[in-house]
């Protein structure tokens, strides 16, 4: 891997993702400009607030370049709000809310209710050989999976992780529990 991994650094917990890659000994940089997209080996879209990330991406003129780069095959990993940004269809969006798309799924925003409904869980995850510690924070749920593969579900069967071609999308925050195994999977299987 010659280029660093990029983390979209407009809003949300991009710093925690940069730290996760640092723990794994992998170079990572914040991305705020379209010109930086050709200088990264992959892109993380972090958790935060999808409406804000979308608006800031327009203001910073990176919205179309990111959508095009994802479509062109840039390895991309969306967590929570980042998953929402990578879904082709969303439920519970604000009027006119846009996504980059790429994952042929429907994602329902704030599917667990409000902030007080945040929780942690240990998940089985296809491609990871041990339970993953996951923090769900005003998390979305993947309510319909069409062209993507399911990678993880809650015990009740609700889908919380999918992948499709160059894209990995998860409902939860892996970067706040100190469990870096999903970042490791992204590097191993998608960035290569
Ligand atoms: N509820 C947020 C949204 O809709 C996502 C929450 C998160 O990223 N932790 O964008």
Q: What percent of the chain has pLDDT over 70?
A: 98
Residues 90, 112, 158, 13, CA torsion sign? positive
Exposed, middle or buried: residue 95 (CB in 10 Å: 0-12, 13-18, 19+)? Answer: exposed
CA of 47 to the centre of ligand 1 (A): 6
pLDDT of residue 158: 96
Is residue 148 within 8 Å of 103, Cβ to Cβ? yes
141 lines ligand 1 (CB under 6 A): no
pLDDT of residue 47: 97
37 Cα–ligand 1 center, Å: 24
Extract the tokens encoding 120: 């942690």
In the residue annotation, 173 being an active-site residue is answered as: yes
Rounded to an integer, the average pLDDT of 151-171 is 98
Phi, psi of 53 (to 5 degrees): -60, -45
Question: Residue 188, SS3?
Answer: helix
Q: Which of 17, 36, 173, 183 is catalytic?
A: 173
Q: What angle do CA 85, 123, 17 make, to 5 degrees?
A: 45
For residue 172, the model assigns a pLDDT of 97
Distance 1 CA to ligand 1 centre (A): 30
Entry pTM: 0.97
The separation between CA 76 and the C-alpha centre of its own chain, rounded to angstroms, equals: 7
| Separation of CA 50 and ligand 1 centre (Å) | 6
Is the predicted pLDDT of residue 116 greater than 90, yes or no? no
The CATH number linked to 30 is 3.40.50.880
Q: What is the pLDDT of residues 61-92, one digit of tens each?
A: 999 999 999 999 999 999 999 999 999 999 99
Considering the candidates 17, 36, 49, 80, report the single residue annotated as catalytic.
80
130 as an active site residue: the answer is no
Give how many domains the chain has, as a whole number: 1
Q: What is the mean pLDDT of residues 149-171?
A: 98
Question: Is 144 known to be catalytic?
Answer: no
The mean pLDDT of the chain is: 96
- Using the atom order of ligand 1, give the atom closest to the CA of residue 12: 8
> Does the structure show a pLDDT above 80 at 114?
no
Which of the four pLDDT bands, split at 50, 70 and 90, describes residue 113? Answer: confident
The fraction of the chain above a pLDDT of 90, given in percent, is 93
Q: How far apart are CA 56 and CA 62, in angstroms?
A: 9
**Ligand 1 contact via 81 beta carbon (within 6 Å):** yes
**Dist. CA 29–CA 17, nearest whole Å:** 10
Out of 49, 97, 135, give the residue to mutate to test ligand 1, the one with the largest number of ligand atoms within 8 Å of its CB: 49
Instruction: Supply the range of the domain harboring residue 82.
Output: 5-191
Query: Above 70 in pLDDT, residue 14?
Result: yes
């Amino acid at each position: 891997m010659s280029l660093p991994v990029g983390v979209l650094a407009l809003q949300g917990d991009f710093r925690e993702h940069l730290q996760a890659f640092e723990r794994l000994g992998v170079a990572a940089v914040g991305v705020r400009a379209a010109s930086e997209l050709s200088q990264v080996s992959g892109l993380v879209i972090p958790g935060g607030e999808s409406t804000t990330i979308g608006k800031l991406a327009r203001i910073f003129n990176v919205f179309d370049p990111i959508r095009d780069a994802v479509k062109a095959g840039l390895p991309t990993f969306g967590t929570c709000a980042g998953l929402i940004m990578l879904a082709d269809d969303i439920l519970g969006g604000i009027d006119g809310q846009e996504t980059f798309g790429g994952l042929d799924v429907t994602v329902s925003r704030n599917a667990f209710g409000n902030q007080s409904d945040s929780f942690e869980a240990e998940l089985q995850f296809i491609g990871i050989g041990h339970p993953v510690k996951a923090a769900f924070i005003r998390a979305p749920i993947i309510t319909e999976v069409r062209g993507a593969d399911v990678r993880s579900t809650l015990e009740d069967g609700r889908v919380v992780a999918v992948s499709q071609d160059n894209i990995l999308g998860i409902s939860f925050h892996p970067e706040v529990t100190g469990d870096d195994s999903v970042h490791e999977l992204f590097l191993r299987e998608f960035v290569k």
